[in-house]
Amino acid sequence: MYDVISGDDLPVLGPYSPAVRAGGLVFVSAQAGIDPLTRDAPATGGFEAECRQALTNLGRVLERAGSDLRHVVRTTVLYTDLADMPAINAVFADIFPVPPPARSSALVGLPGGRRISIDAIAVAVARPDSVEGPDPVERADPRTA
């Protein structure tokens, strides 16, 4: 069973959920370095500001799901320019506790001029604020079906 975390203030661009809470974990879909309401990147601060915005967006989704950035255990960072890795490292060192979460990174092309996108897995620590539907979704175990 799992809970879908969604809401009007957690916009998505396709057929996917902002986050899913299952088995004591929260799985957050990738968050870009843009304001989710205006769809604009920060006007100042360059790539570092976009990286911080992506993590701010991630934090907002985590809070709605009953977690926060302190409980992130893994991230995946998709970014478009190898020269930006030092900025990513600096922002992660500033935002995440010691020891930091596990992380994978990949150079990719991102749509709409975006330069970074970050997803995460976190430990769920509280009841989520926004659970879609009256009951958790139940899926059959494909190993026994």
CB 58 within 8 A of CB 35: no
Distance CA 34, CA 47 (A): 11
What is the biggest distance separating any 2 CA atoms in the chain, rounded to whole angstroms? 53
- In a domain, residue 79? The reply is yes
Residues paired with residue 75 on neighbouring β-strands, in sequence order = 103, 120
- In a domain, residue 6? The reply is yes
Residues paired with residue 79 on neighbouring β-strands, in sequence order = 107, 116
Q: What confidence score (pLDDT) does residue 128 get? A: 61
- In a domain, residue 26? The reply is yes
- In a domain, residue 133? The reply is no
- What's the number of domains the chain is made of? 1
- In a domain, residue 63? The reply is yes
Q: What confidence score (pLDDT) does residue 144 get? A: 44
pLDDT tens for each residue of 99-140: 899 999 999 999 988 999 999 999 999 766 555 443 444 433
CB 136 within 8 A of CB 2: yes
Task: Name the helix (H) or strand (E) containing 28.
Answer: strand 25-32
